[in-house]
Structure 1
């Protein structure tokens, strides 16, 4: 009897009706097909992840918008935004400083272009992130009554009120500090210079200012950007001790060319079992350098690229050693049958500590290529490919700094 039951369960029992066996086999085939279809769909659709401790479910690609109003017209911005949204991207990243490069004549245009697009969109389905500028003596046009921007209560409130007005919305899903109020080594500076230390707004004071805006319903969650492990830990500690809102995200530079700073200790700090802070990785294509378009400086793509349109901007990506590293990564991509874009975006996508990669584009075609590369690359990248990436990394550790 036991053997008959076993056979019955395995669909081979001689006393089990043939029709019943056929129906079960068909169901099994159907479920297998459904599983295969589901797996295939997963490969061709963006995934969504929780951002840190928040209840924000964001797409694994976030649309960066800093070219809107400088390199892109309002119409082009709308086309890019619509294509992103239709492709499953639900997170947009902007800043009071945008577009970049920062100029008094263009400041805020990015938000205005987003606002005119938002009017026809379901606001609740879009995760809107923006940023308040950190300490700056060159951003006087951002504030009414001060020549220096700070991350204090007055500056934060003025920034948020103006951002809400420009964006045409009642609330911001994620408000980030664009760069710290205190001195930190930033944007290609390769080490901390103790002589540049200066007094800064206390972490508790910054969090209390954010708490007021959260209580008023103008901000849902807060995060940091261009931050260090020291800053993250101070914010987390201050929030815990004072009962203030905790940061849920960190937006830092991360790519094949810029890895070490985040991987050495911020990964530990932000780990879900430690402080659970999600990384929004910006410049996963290293300002476009990892596409390979700047290798031939005479090409049309290179001439039209941001690194050449704005002399001095992100020049660290065009240094000789960075170019050498880029060439090596392009060789790895070719060896494994990938484009440079597929390699760079596939790498960022697969890092377990990356919640979302911030990808900007100046055309729908460019954005389409980026999204397609993100989705078409094998998930996760094959071990032999990862090994080749690590071999290059061992020879060129963060080449933008040296």
Structure 2
């Protein structure tokens, strides 16, 4: 009995939903039609590693030369790739064919690039690679872009990302480069990308400032943050003014994560309630040490009466010798009252650190019972409190 093509396709799609890769591979070997149905799932996500080709002891992560071989012999597979991540290695720049093959990728929706221009200045990256990277980043199909550990990335790369809704920059340094004509698109979209999720992590404040102040030839910004729903800012150094610059562009923000790493000065000037949308429902703050509690209270105080906050997450990264357990915690209990935050339904407090002694851990775990009595007794709020050791890498 021969099954109808639409039923066969539905069966293969169901196998993909169950992530049954062995079954999909078996189907691909059955017939040409089932091969067609299966490969769109088997090759929907391609993750390229950064393992030197001469050293396979580190694993069998696919390399760029394997992708080149695959797409050279089966170019139709390029249309199946919807998610593409590539951690670049020095040797990748030597591949003469890769830039040509990469330009055949036209349906990518989620793009992750790591190590771009990490080992050499962008100006020294071969032009063919510059053009290939610009092609990928500026694809109309790309809605999610993640850049990690990338150095000297020129701003013109971001000028034409017409349908980008998610942007994550992790340890990325941006530079103003107006003279790289090959990076400018032939036609700038009529409107900037309307980003709904933006994350800036471990980058320099200067790079964030360049991104926020960058303008297209028509004087419009590269990105429109008015529809931004989720914002995450994690940086070394002062980001107060930059946080304000970002927040004042938002109108629909529902989730905000902020952290200043390596600072014990508290959270001063990173919440900016005057720019926070009244739609904010989740606030996550990462702090260094517990001595910053007074600064935290002042920041939270500015939100009283101006929010519909439902969830508050506080993460304290501590050093045992600098950790304090005492009356300062009562300030948090006095701040998070129903009258101040009537919509609050969940408070999660996490304390993390290296080499936390058993005695200190016991003291920390006793904080809710001693200092957070009102918060713990509030039936409308779920209080989660944890103490854990971080693993040093």
TM-score w.r.t. the length of structure 2 is: 0.28
TM-score w.r.t. the length of structure 1 is: 0.28
Which structure shows the higher strand fraction?
2
Higher RCO (Cα < 8 Å, 6 or more apart): 1
